[in-house]
Amino acid sequence: MNVLTFYIGKEILKGSLVTMLILLTIFNLFTFADEVKDLKGAYDLKQIFYYIALTSPKVLYELVPSSALIGSLFVLGSMGNNRELIAMQAAGLSVLGIIKAVLLAGFVLVSLSLVVGEFIAPVGEKLAQKLKMVALHESIIMNSKYGVWLREGSNYVNVRQAEEDGRLADISIYELDNNRHLNKAVHADKAIFLGDKTWKLVNTKESVISTDQIQVTQQAEKIWHSSIAPNLLKIVVVDPDNLSLYDLAMYVDFLKTNRQKSHSYEFAFWGRAVNPLTTFIMMLVSAPFVIGIHRGISVGARIMLGVTIGMGFNIFNKIINHMGLIYNFNPPLVAILPSLIVFSLVLFAIKKAKT
């Protein structure tokens, strides 16, 4: 490997990592300000710091493309201003060598983001949501693969599935008497929140238990009054942020097999799959600005340029994704389209800068 290529790649990597830490600190400060508003009960400052620590890997994963862009712009721009790139080109370093150095740093950043995004961030995000919900709502007893268990007075409730619209499925309610003996068990296929602490249970089977007999009755619908709110059950909703790329693929296959809506999870899967390519393209964006050796541009101007490009790309990407969800466009195409457009513009800009 060329010494100069390795040097440029190392400096870009250092600049990107420093940028990542700065952005992560800023985002965590905003998160802290938001979480302080929920400060109550068991959810104290210690729990908030735990929550921020657990959600940091997810934020870090999302910041990699922007950090790569700002870091490479800053480093290559500084080298251009200090005439280092002129000296390197005089020593025989080609434009292709500069691009190779950028891609070398990108490979390291992409490898880091894959490890964080696939193995650390999903676990941390799941634990963070569970920690917050348990601290804010003392009624939560346990969240496991068998659903969430909640306590409401002498009643114990088990919810196996919660949908994004607040509806519940496969719900069981166990009522205990004053001696903590089970005297009633109710199972419902679905539960729909009607508001004002009222739920409608659909297709219920109620078992009244006594020392003499068990009496079973079935009803198509039954009203259930409970202080349990739909937002309390968000921790049992399958969130794409809590799943690795492999788990997302398995869940999409499960939804399709059971003829359920999977479009939003398909978009999440392909968005994650394309993220490494996005990082490489964001780093290549810096190349056209330094190949022509533009000097005299301040550090602040370069950072502002990087932030503007990064924000513009994110906004454009979100618009395309929302349009894809609304109009049921092809998920792989929608995921890769913004990156391909930017990549085409980068190639055009590099070619123009070289002429």
Instruction: Indicate whether 10 belongs to any domain.
Output: yes
Instruction: Indicate whether 220 belongs to any domain.
Output: yes
**For residues 88-115, average pLDDT:** 89
The token duo for 176 is: 């205990």
Give residue 106's identity as a one-letter amino acid code: G
Q: Which long-range contacts (CB under 8 A, 24 or more apart) does 171-177 make?
A: 171/201, 173/224
pLDDT band at 87 (very low <50, low <70, confident <90, very high): confident
Contact 81, 273 (CB under 8 A): no
159/2 Cα distance (integer angstroms): 60
Lowest mean pLDDT among 174-188, 231-245, 291-305, 340-354: 291-305
Q: Are 261 and 201 contained in the same domain?
A: no
Strand, coil or helix: 194: strand
Q: Are 171 and 302 contained in the same domain?
A: no
Q: How many domains is the chain partitioned into structurally?
A: 2
pLDDT band at 55 (very low <50, low <70, confident <90, very high): very high
**For residues 176-191, average pLDDT:** 90
User: Which of 208-225 are b and which e, b meaning 16 or more Cβ less than 10 Å from the residue's Cβ?
Assistant: ebeeeeeeeeeeeebebe
With 80 as the cut, is the pLDDT of residue 47 above it? yes
Higher pLDDT, 92 or 301: 92
Q: Are 89 and 154 contained in the same domain?
A: no
Residue 206, pLDDT score: 94
With 80 as the cut, is the pLDDT of residue 147 above it? no
Higher pLDDT, 255 or 336: 336
Higher pLDDT, 165 or 314: 314
Q: Are 128 and 184 contained in the same domain?
A: no
Instruction: Indicate whether 232 belongs to any domain.
Output: no
Residue 292, pLDDT score: 55
Residue 140, pLDDT score: 55
With 90 as the cut, is the pLDDT of residue 256 above it? no
66/311 Cα distance (integer angstroms): 8
Lowest mean pLDDT among 44-48, 62-66, 160-164, 348-352: 160-164
**For residues 14-26, average pLDDT:** 95
232/72 Cα distance (integer angstroms): 43
Percent of the chain topping pLDDT 90: 40
Contact 74, 15 (CB under 8 A): yes
In terms of Cα–Cα distance, which of 36, 248, 233 is closest to 129? 233
- Residues 6+ positions from 6 with CB-CB distance below 8 Å: 101, 104
Lowest mean pLDDT among 15-19, 41-45, 188-192, 296-300: 296-300
Q: Which of 202, 227, 252 is the last residue of a domain?
A: 227
Q: Are 168 and 42 contained in the same domain?
A: no
Strand, coil or helix: 185: strand
**For residues 152-173, average pLDDT:** 82
With 80 as the cut, is the pLDDT of residue 164 above it? no
**For residues 52-67, average pLDDT:** 94
Q: Are 263 and 123 contained in the same domain?
A: yes
With 70 as the cut, is the pLDDT of residue 287 above it? yes
Residue 355, pLDDT score: 63
Give the number of C-alpha atoms closer than 13 A to the C-alpha of residue 327, restricted to the C-beta side. Answer: 9
**For residues 130-157, average pLDDT:** 73
Q: What is the pLDDT of residues 197-212, one digit of tens each?
A: 899 999 999 999 988 8
Range of the domain at 148: 140-227
pTM of the model: 0.77
The token duo for 231 is: 């937002």
Q: Are 90 and 213 contained in the same domain?
A: no
Lowest mean pLDDT among 23-32, 85-94, 129-138, 264-273: 129-138
Contact 239, 163 (CB under 8 A): no
Residue 333: CB atoms within 10 A of its CB come to 12
With 50 as the cut, is the pLDDT of residue 246 above it? yes
Instruction: Indicate whether 233 belongs to any domain.
Output: no
pLDDT band at 179 (very low <50, low <70, confident <90, very high): confident
284/351 Cα distance (integer angstroms): 13
With 70 as the cut, is the pLDDT of residue 247 above it? yes
With 50 as the cut, is the pLDDT of residue 293 above it? no
Higher pLDDT, 213 or 299: 213
Helix 3-36 with 45-81: angle, nearest 10 deg? 150
The token duo for 291 is: 């190949």
Contact 68, 16 (CB under 8 A): yes
Query: Average pLDDT over the chain, rounded to whole?
Result: 85
Residue recorded with tokens 């964006």: 285
With 70 as the cut, is the pLDDT of residue 350 above it? yes
Contact 321, 259 (CB under 8 A): no
Q: Are 107 and 243 contained in the same domain?
A: yes
Q: Are 319 and 254 contained in the same domain?
A: yes
Q: Are 211 and 69 contained in the same domain?
A: no
| Alpha-helical regions (H) of the chain | 3-36, 45-81, 84-90, 95-115, 121-136, 245-257, 263-284, 287-291, 299-327, 331-354
Residue 244, pLDDT score: 85
The token duo for 316 is: 């454009």
Q: Are 266 and 350 contained in the same domain?
A: yes
Q: Are 315 and 252 contained in the same domain?
A: yes
**For residues 325-330, average pLDDT:** 88
Edge-first strand order for the sheet with 182-195 is 140-144, 147-152, 155-162, 168-176, 182-195, 198-209, 214-225
147-152 and 198-209 strand pairing: unpaired
**For residues 20-45, average pLDDT:** 92
The token duo for 114 is: 């894959």
